[in-house]
Structure 1
Amino acid sequence: MDGDYVIGGVFSIHYYMHTVKHNYTTMPEPLSCTGSIDSRELRFSRTMVFAIEQINNSTELLPGIKLGYEIYDSCASVSVAVHVAFQLSGGLDPVFNTGDKCSQSGMVMAVVGESGSTPSISMLRVIGPFNIPQVSHFATCACLSDKQHYPSFFRTIPSDQFQADALAKLVKHFGWTWIGAVQSDSDYGNNGMASFLHAARKEGICVEYSESFSRTHPRSRIQRVADVIRRSTAKVVVAFTSTGDMRILLEELSRKPSPPRQWIGSESWVTDPDMLRFSFLAGAIGFGIEKSVIPGLRDFLLDLSPSKVADSPLLTMFWEEAFNCRLVKSFQ
């Protein structure tokens, strides 16, 4: 949506990127996302639209100014996030300004996102030098608190340093002193687990194993991590992983169930309702971010008539996945 000032939005609405083998004889295909839609990330993006509409409809917040938005799907991919960052910082107007005075009229004023820490860091390398503020709703890596390296980064969610300390105290509270640990092979997972292990040692907690993995790794790597969990003597597993990575690991574990384990989760996956489909996660515990009730948001999210959905390819994909049907746009 156009406006006097444009806000960029970047969300991991898909968790996979379509990979293309380059033959170096033709131009590579554009980067594109694939796989099923992450409904929580879609809600994040729709909430941004709701917030901007609320501001535009208010006579007190920004009177006489209309905000616009450009929202992108990063596929939770660094390469796509960087591509989007260049689009946002280079201006949305394809016409090059040849005037005597440089203008930033086409450049976004701020960016909301990204959901993950590593894609957020990658975007900051691009938009940071332009002093474009980036505000994340879900990037929690403690490394992003370094204002010397990331002066234009802000977030509405606490740093993982608080969560790591709390998880160590939680494990100690239940008397679990022999545990296993798995983490995403990313800034979020590696930094978060390092902070947790440091805090756990202070609490007298011993770690049998510490394994890192990513959903982009070969399946053999995921299988090896799953086998380590199955063979371990530790009955408690602390997982500092992203939702996408955790889903891949749990799908691998479900193929050959391991002995009962008590799962301790970071906020990224332990608060995701989609994880409830894995029955062996019953009793998983962790810390969630404090919630608030936003007046009007629920009605806005549920107000998806077939005509509105049909106008958006993304919402059409979500609708067809959610209701297992084919949405056909009718012309009258």
Structure 2
Amino acid sequence: MNGIETEHPEWGFKSLRRAVDAAGIALWSWNVDTDRFKMDPRGYELWALAPQELLTFEHLSEKIHPADRDRVRAAFSATRSVVGPYEIDFRTLVGEEVRWISARGQGNDEDIEHRMMTGVFLDVTGRKQAEESSELLAGEMSHRVKNLLTVASGLARITARSSTSLEDMTTQLMHRLTALDRAHDLVRPLPGHQGDAALLGDIFAVLLAPYDDQGAFAGRVRIAVPRMGVGESSAASLALVVHELATNSIKYGALSVDQGVLDISGCMVGDHVRINWTEHGGPEVKHTGEQKGYGSKLVRRTVEGPLGGSIGYEWSASGVLVTLEVHAERLAS
């Protein structure tokens, strides 16, 4: 070890610098009296700043996301009286790019050398995005579970209306639950990426079969769409949209009453598929403005995201009309 130190007197510093660079760490110091900030080159790169003579905390604050700015200022001020290590996560906003930065250091400015506090900045954007994705997935799963409970309750109510006995109701309900299970099997990706997952009409027919009464009100769900294949990735997204619309209908719309009717029609408009979801005979639904529920946001995000299309709603006393437009090639993917 002594030989290494004699031959390479800066070996320890260079190794430390390489380790810091490999970890993506930016070093900083802060003069608590003058408010002056100093950073290494990685720090300036992280904050999208050009190296300059004078850099203060206020200069950095201009880059902090407005929603986090006051919190970060208060937190940094508080670190002067905090004994021990601290960590603050916040967002920066450079143009339209949002980054997450973690500031870490040692608190308590009593007896600090040259009135300088030191610490590190870490870019934790990837971790934060992963956490947000996990939270979104958890919220979506929770929403789907609640929807399934609502669907089960609605199916039981529909079945009870057309049943003549407890045994008859049990048989019909089991058939409907089995149909619901088949619907989920239908839109699962095929093994080995074997092409189209299903026909467009089959997706609607199988997904909506559990909601069509088998007794006096049979045929209340009517489907007439173009014959075309739906790809395995789009099938899952389309199924989510259909399931959400059906859940809303069984809660508030045409499928919630005996006389309600649901028409699904479709046609080609240029290179797009236009699908109209039209409800008749349900209770009057009063539209109160922009839809803000989780389910509505989930539908819009799915249509505009994975399906790359658009969705619109029209409200009338006779029922809701939902218009869905998706590029045909996107639907087949």
- TM-score scaled to structure 2, two decimals? 0.27
Q: Which has the higher contact order (CA 8 A, sep 6+)?
A: 1
